[in-house]
Amino acid sequence: MSSHKKNPAVYCGRIGHAINPPRPSKLKRFLSVAVVLAVSFAVTAATLIYSDLSNRTSTITVAKVLNRNPPDSYSGKPINLLVIGSDTRDGKENKELGGGNDPTERSDTTMLMHISADRSRVEVVSIPRDLLVNIPRCKLADNSLSKPRKAQFNWAYSIGFQGGNRATAVACTWKTVEQLTGLKVDESILVDFSGFASMINALGGINIYIPTEIKDPNTGLDLKPGCKHFDGKQALEYARVRHGVKGSDGSDLHRIQRQQQLMGIMARTALNKNILTSLNQLYGFLGSGLASLTVSEGLSSTTELGGLGWSLQSIKPDNLRFV
């Protein structure tokens, strides 16, 4: 007990405080303050970045329209993603990329993407937009039901979009794909054209080989065969071209091949650049990508979407297959 009285700093069941503690040197104090400020700055910056990226992605309640409950997590589970290219013609960015002032929306490129449970393989199947399919009854924005009909595949989105509701538009496309393929769709991602162009620009453009001459009278796209470097706008023009392609019949099938080629090159460019090691490139790529996405509920959190992307970082380019 006497030792406790002589040295009040000794622990006696409560926190003691040293009398006249030794003062750290000025250098140590400076370093301590610097570390605290650096950590505070890093935490604040990370919070702002996370908040910014979270706010860039839009969410639609597709599961609610379809009366389904998305799982809590897709960790360790295979996923079937419905990826829909939105042919939105309205807005400044889309107008600069060849759109107009049409406020309506329709689907363009649609892909069904299967991601294996161990995240080692991704297979992507494109669905031609002109394919004749049976479109089922779909719930509309006013809670009424559309009539089932046989029509071109991209009509499904337009039917569901009556009333200007993206959730019902995606849900109608979702149901049509499930009926067509017999597969269960887990989640959906809606991508607009301006975001596709921005993502390619964030990568510094892409290199692509043009096998045949293209001279499109509608868009003015004029390309000779050979290796080309495309920025986002040029890549988008190449992805959308249907006319003036030597050796092509102007159908969706040839265009699908070009679109899949572009998607594959974009993915491989991102993997080869290893953008995960470059904060500036990663932030630019993620920012451009997320801003162009409208996702279903199961992918609504940046944590879930980011976790899915992170789990695919080690995939080998040869295991990313387009069909």
Residue 230 · residue 206 · CB < 8 Å: yes
Q: What per-residue string of b and e applies to 138-162 under the rule 16 or more CB within 10 Å gives b? A: bbbbeeeebeeeebebbbbbbbbbb
The residue with tokens 């975001």 is 195
Record the tokens describing residue 251, joined without a space.
């159908």
pLDDT tens-digit map of 190-221: 888 777 788 788 788 889 898 889 888 877 88
Residues 98-118, mean pLDDT to the nearest whole number: 75
Range of the domain at 128: 60-322
The count of C-alpha atoms lying within 13 angstroms of the C-alpha of 239, restricted to the half-sphere facing its C-beta, is: 27
Residue 177 and residue 44 share a domain: no
Residue 93 and residue 203 share a domain: yes
- Return the CATH number at 196: 3.40.630.190
Residue 164 and residue 34 share a domain: no
How many domains is the chain partitioned into structurally? 2
Handedness of CA 272, 275, 277, 281 (dihedral sign): positive
Record the tokens describing residue 207, joined without a space.
């290199």
Cα(27)–Cα(116) distance, integer angstroms? 54
Residue 65 and residue 50 share a domain: no
Residue 162 and residue 18 share a domain: no
Position 32 scores a pLDDT of 56
Residue 80 and residue 229 share a domain: yes
274 vs 63 pLDDT, higher one: 63
135 vs 129 pLDDT, higher one: 135
Listed ranges 38-47, 203-212, 274-283; the one with the highest mean pLDDT:
203-212
Neighbour-count burial of 256, counting CB atoms closer than 10 A to its CB (0-12 exposed, 13-18 middle, 19+ buried): buried
Listed ranges 77-86, 152-161, 249-258, 264-273; the one with the highest mean pLDDT:
152-161
pLDDT tens-digit map of 9-31: 443 444 444 555 555 565 655 55
Position 184 scores a pLDDT of 94
94 vs 136 pLDDT, higher one: 136
User: With 50 as the cut, is the pLDDT of residue 125 above it?
Assistant: yes
Confidence of residue 57 (pLDDT cuts 50, 70, 90): low
pLDDT tens-digit map of 139-197: 999 999 999 999 999 999 999 998 889 999 999 999 999 999 999 999 888 888 777 78
Residue 75 and residue 34 share a domain: no
Residue 243 · residue 217 · CB < 8 Å: yes
Of 33, 56, 79, the position where a domain reaches its end is: 56
Residue 173 and residue 39 share a domain: no
User: For helices 193-202 and 279-291, what crossing angle results, to 10°?
Assistant: 170
